[in-house]
A and B are shown apart, each in its own frame.
Chain A
Amino acid sequence: MKYLYYPGCSLEGTALEYNASTQTFMQELEVDLLELKDWTCCGASAAEATSYLLSLALPAYILAMAEEMDGTKEILVPCSACYLNLKKVEEKSRKDPELLDKINTILKEKKLHFHGQVRVRHLLDVVARDIGPAKIFSRVKNPFIDLKIAPYYGCQCLRPYSIFDDPEEPRSMEPLIEAVGAKIHPWNMGGRCCGASHMTTKPEVALELVTAILKAARGADAIVTVCPMCQMNLEAYQKKICGKSKEDLRMTILYLPQFLGLAMGLSEQDLRLDLNLSVTKEFRNKL
């Protein structure tokens, strides 16, 4: 198996451990990742809030660069915000030739042309459908039979394009978590919004959303995520949230490849668990 790889800006900064664990995990499963050369930012949520055309031009530039690469036409993206931005261009340009023309007028500045031939894949999609639970099961070295996990999907890998999961009641992580022996924490918050960038501009609102998620996760040993923004919102403000709600809502938050990787016997160093902001003592004792 082979994919082009677009890490995106967060994975070079606040989500370094998502990058490291994705690469180690894929390597262990003999999946080749070919990182895009000189990749640029997809515009995150900021481009769309300032200019519609820019919010399509930036990801189109990335996809056009991907088309220039040899070997495969599938591009793997771990960050849900990047994934949606890239996916949006893939979907829209296929349905709207006029828009595609406009995009290519812009890309001419970079002497590139976008043909619409690459397929954008979220990391979760690839792990759940291409790799699959059976292969992961066959690699398990430390079965996590004592752990109960709350799968958290967030928004943008599920909506508006429902490619690999039910956008209302997502389940795609469950067979993967069960493949390593762990149980699923029953909850209906897996696809609820974490508030995204509101955490910086409207913290009172985002804190409310995250508090509700952490409360619903009580009883689980960890929440597993597939997006740097969700991960940060869920892990970085727990102290404040516990203080405000006067409850112990501390919770371990891990990226999916970190969690699966641990069960497959990959080391904490390789998965960069040291970079996570919330791994509780109770969780460590159960490992």
Chain B
Amino acid sequence: MSPAEKIEIKQRSETAPEPVIDSLATIRDMVSACIQCGTCTGSCPNAFAMDLTPRQLWYNVLMGEKETIFHSKTFSLCSVCYCCTLRCPRGLPLTETMSALKQIAAKENLAPYKKSIQFYKSFMESVRRHGRVREMEFMTLYFLSMKNPFMLLKFAPLGMKLMGKGKVSFEFPSKGNGALESIFRKVEELEQR
């Protein structure tokens, strides 16, 4: 199997599958004390690009509207700045809740989030193989998995600049020493329980 195939993601249907419902219950608990004040929305640097504001997203989480949640771009637009978490008057772990939604999308390989999911998975694949991320390998895995040569062209000028400065070097994806393999495996085992 080529490295690109190995991290290939199968596109699922647009609808969120069954297991999503279970994990959504935990997520609802995380924001159950929300009073819909909108402080999170007002604090979010990415709110301008979101289809649902953070406050609206929490409303949909409370209502269990999984269709709306997993068709919305909102949680994937969270850049983990912790402004909302810092300011929420109820002290809710909002950044972690955004991440919990990202984790579901990644586990279920939900189609609308393909780009971010592939980006993060390519990163983790490189870490799993070598113990440390190899930036060029990670980007190569990412571009290969997206099967979109235009993305590579967009990245090329910066890539060349960084190579010119000796900061990164081109490398073909390789197997690595598996320094973190046992940790990754154990985590997977515990998560399946």
Could you say which of B81, B115, B158, B167 contacts A193, with CB atoms under 8 Å apart?
Answer: B81
**Is the pair A48, B186 in contact by a Cβ cutoff of 8 Å?**
no
**Is the pair A41, B186 in contact by a Cβ cutoff of 8 Å?**
no
Distance (whole angstroms) from the CB of A205 to the closest CB of chain B: 5
Could you say which of A102, A160, A192 contacts B86, with CB atoms under 8 Å apart?
Answer: A160
Which B residues are CB-close (under 8 A) to A214? none
Q: Does B39 contact A (CB under 8 A)?
A: no
Q: A41-B132, A51-B103 are in contact. Are A196 and B80 (CB under 8 A)?
A: yes
Distance (whole angstroms) from the CB of A127 to the closest CB of chain B: 22
Binds B, one of A6-14, A217-225, A251-259: A6-14
Distance (whole angstroms) from the CB of A167 to the closest CB of chain B: 6
Which residues between 68 and 118 of chain B lie within 8 Å of chain A, taking CB atoms?
Answer: 77, 79-83, 85-86, 95, 99-100, 102-103, 106-107, 115-116
Q: Does A118 contact B (CB under 8 A)?
A: no
Could you say which of B115, B116, B179 contacts A49, with CB atoms under 8 Å apart?
Answer: B116
Q: A50-B106, A202-B49 are in contact. Are A160 and B186 (CB under 8 A)?
A: no
**Is the pair B186, A106 in contact by a Cβ cutoff of 8 Å?**
yes
Which B residues are CB-close (under 8 A) to A61? 180, 183
Binds B, one of A52-60, A134-142, A175-183, A261-269: A52-60
Which A residues are CB-close (under 8 A) to B185? 109
**Is the pair B85, A40 in contact by a Cβ cutoff of 8 Å?**
no
**Is the pair B106, A53 in contact by a Cβ cutoff of 8 Å?**
no
Which A residues are CB-close (under 8 A) to B121? 46, 50
Could you say which of A45, A58, A196, A209 contacts B180, with CB atoms under 8 Å apart?
Answer: A58
Could you say which of B48, B103, B119, B166 contacts A208, with CB atoms under 8 Å apart?
Answer: B48
Q: Does B45 contact A (CB under 8 A)?
A: yes
Residue with the greatest number of chain B CB neighbours at <10 A, chosen from A49, A102, A158: A49
Q: Does A47 contact B (CB under 8 A)?
A: yes
Could you say which of B48, B116, B135, B179 contacts A9, with CB atoms under 8 Å apart?
Answer: B135
Closest chain B residue to A206, Cβ basis: B79
Chain A interface SS verdict (over half): helix
Q: A159-B81, A159-B82 are in contact. Are A53 and B187 (CB under 8 A)?
A: yes
Distance (whole angstroms) from the CB of A120 to the closest CB of chain B: 16
Which A residues are CB-close (under 8 A) to B170? none
Q: Does A236 contact B (CB under 8 A)?
A: yes
Interface 0/1 of A193-210, CB less than 8 Å to B: 101111011101110110
**Is the pair A14, B135 in contact by a Cβ cutoff of 8 Å?**
yes
Q: Does A155 contact B (CB under 8 A)?
A: yes
What are 18 A-B pairs with beta-carbon distances under 8 A? A14-B162, A16-B166, A40-B132, A41-B133, A48-B99, A49-B120, A50-B120, A50-B121, A105-B186, A155-B83, A156-B80, A159-B83, A160-B95, A196-B79, A196-B80, A198-B79, A201-B119, A208-B48
Counting from the closest, the 10 A-B pairs by CB-CB distance are A159-B82, A193-B81, A46-B123, A109-B182, A46-B120, A155-B81, A40-B131, A49-B102, A49-B120, A41-B127
